[in-house]
Amino acid sequence: MTHPNSSPFFDKPIDGLIDKSADASESASEDVLADISADKKYIADSAVFIMGNCPFPFSQMISVPRVEDEMRSDEALLRYDIAKTEGLRIEAVDKKYTALVEEQAKQTRDFEKLSQTDIDVLSKALEYQKQYQDNAVLLTDDFAVQNIAARLGIVVVPIAQRVIKDQIIWQKQCIGCHRHFNDGEECPICGSPLRKKMKKKLKQKPKTI
């Protein structure tokens, strides 16, 4: 099958860039190509342009302005610019969806880990999910972003990583007195640093195609 993105900067073989272990069976692969549909909307995070092995057409992709700030190599920036010439749309974020994303991120304790770009991409994915349901697909390798997407019911396809197996609820634990807290960097009781620790695992991974 011909790669939908014909630019030589996107023609790297998918094999070799994707973990082929059992856990990575849900990574982007040739099986995904069979599900490319003109009805789908692909919301792209920075991994699409950094990794350069995305099988989906740019004419069906949407991203957000802050993604450009994460193009730290000339090659990634070139891929990003080529994508825009081939139909990638850059859209502003609706604060209504940002508020919903931040609420979920605070519930899972992922909020501190997410960048503003992550939040913007999730917000745009949620906006499209509300309109297109499962035809809105979030393209991301970030595990924290996938964790929030799973809670929001957003379909996820990774670029070069695997899909998370479970939703995780995090907490903070003091390395000194071992008390648990929802957030923070320093224990308010003994002053020792807090470290991130899993509080609960939910057997519900993100939807994927």
Q: Where are the domains of the chain?
A: 8-164
Residue 25 has pLDDT above 50, yes or no: no
Residue 61 has pLDDT above 50, yes or no: yes
- Average pLDDT of the residues in 126-147: 94
pLDDT at 199: 58
pLDDT at 64: 98
Residue 3 has pLDDT above 70, yes or no: no
pLDDT at 1: 42
Contacts of 37 (CB under 8 A, 6+ apart): 135
Summarised one tens digit per residue, pLDDT across range 29-39 is 455 554 567 78
Q: Cα–Cα distance between 143 and 113 in angstroms, integer?
A: 10
Residue 65 has pLDDT above 50, yes or no: yes
Per CATH, the number for 8-164 is 3.40.50.1010
Structure tokens, 208? 């994927």
Residue 135 has pLDDT above 90, yes or no: yes
pLDDT at 16: 34
* Burial of 73 (C-beta count, 10 Å sphere; 0-12/13-18/19+): exposed
